[in-house]
Copies of this chain bind each other. A is one copy, B any other.
């Protein structure tokens, strides 16, 4: 059985890593705050498909403690990609392996490829509602499908044997998988949802149902989706006909959903603004395509993110200040 290193054990890494370990794959997890808890108590996964506990769990606190594995799954937030080489275990850059990036946004695999130049890099898009609800506690609320695709800077289409192997492991572990021939196009398709709903929900502190309940914001979601489709087309990744309508209809009937960006905003944590908005805007601009609403949402979110950053820094200063 192929071995898996799970870098980041939040809602995504904990859930999918947990399913792989349950299926019998030797699996180890890189954790920060929950390390001691998970080492002691394992992982508790409450899934709409059935709860399960994993114990023992091989929990590592530092990247260099992770044993070499066949596949590394990076399930960190995109805001951490800038310092990725410090977070990946050393063997990822030293020997050929497979690295799967489970993340939102566009063009983020370039960070992985730079940090793991000898490895096959695979991008993964998760259509899942799963959150870390407490130390070692993962709540899988709904959905679960993963789209996997090879990262190729030249966008030559195809599906590598490494990708097929990972897809087989995922499927046997109970994870619905689709192998996509074009990662860049797959990412633009996912952005069709993330661009309207992540940003607006964070900005307006609202879930999907609240956004769609008011005609003015429902139409704004549609307009942002249309702009995303325009950007995708300009970048040579046209959106399938009917895709936007299907996505709006699905969202209207799904349970009210608090996006990851909304949760990040509420907790004043860094938001994935650059991966979800900055990269698509820059790619579209390179193709002469201006997207005013997406650009405006980007600027509003940068503002929020920057305020949260300065609040975090103020808090650190307060904590550090010596008592006089």
Name A's B-contacting residues (CB within 8 A).
200, 203-204, 206, 211, 214, 216-217, 219-220, 223, 292-293, 296-300, 302-304, 306-307
B204 touches A300 (CB 8 A): yes
- Checking B214, B293, B302, B306 against A292 with a beta-carbon cut-off of 8 angstroms, the contacting residue is B293
A28 to chain B, nearest CB (A): 40
Cβ contacts A to B, 21 pairs, < 8 Å: A200-B300, A203-B300, A204-B303, A206-B303, A214-B303, A214-B306, A216-B298, A216-B302, A216-B303, A217-B299, A217-B300, A217-B302, A217-B303, A220-B300, A223-B292, A223-B296, A292-B292, A292-B293, A293-B293, A293-B296, A296-B296
CB nearest neighbor in B for A219: B299
A303 CA to B206 CA, complexed, in Å: 10
- Checking B214, B300, B307 against A302 with a beta-carbon cut-off of 8 angstroms, the contacting residue is B214
A121 CA to B302 CA, complexed, in Å: 44
CB nearest neighbor in B for A221: B299
A292 CA to B226 CA, complexed, in Å: 12
A218 to chain B, nearest CB (A): 9
Q: Which of A206, A292, A297, A299 has the most CB of B within 10 A?
A: A299
B residues in contact with A200, CB < 8 Å: 300
A209 to chain B, nearest CB (A): 13
B residues in contact with A299, CB < 8 Å: 216-217, 219-220
A203 CA to B206 CA, complexed, in Å: 13
CB nearest neighbor in B for A205: B307
B residues in contact with A220, CB < 8 Å: 296, 299-300
A76 to chain B, nearest CB (A): 25
A49 to chain B, nearest CB (A): 35
B residues in contact with A216, CB < 8 Å: 298-299, 302-303
B residues in contact with A298, CB < 8 Å: 216
B residues in contact with A214, CB < 8 Å: 302-303, 306
A203 to chain B, nearest CB (A): 7
Supposing A292-B292, A293-B296 touch, asked if A204 and B302 sit within 8 A by C-beta, the answer is no
Q: Which 9 A-B pairs have the closest CB atoms?
A: A216-B299, A292-B292, A216-B302, A220-B299, A217-B303, A293-B296, A292-B293, A204-B303, A296-B296
B residues in contact with A292, CB < 8 Å: 223, 292-293, 296
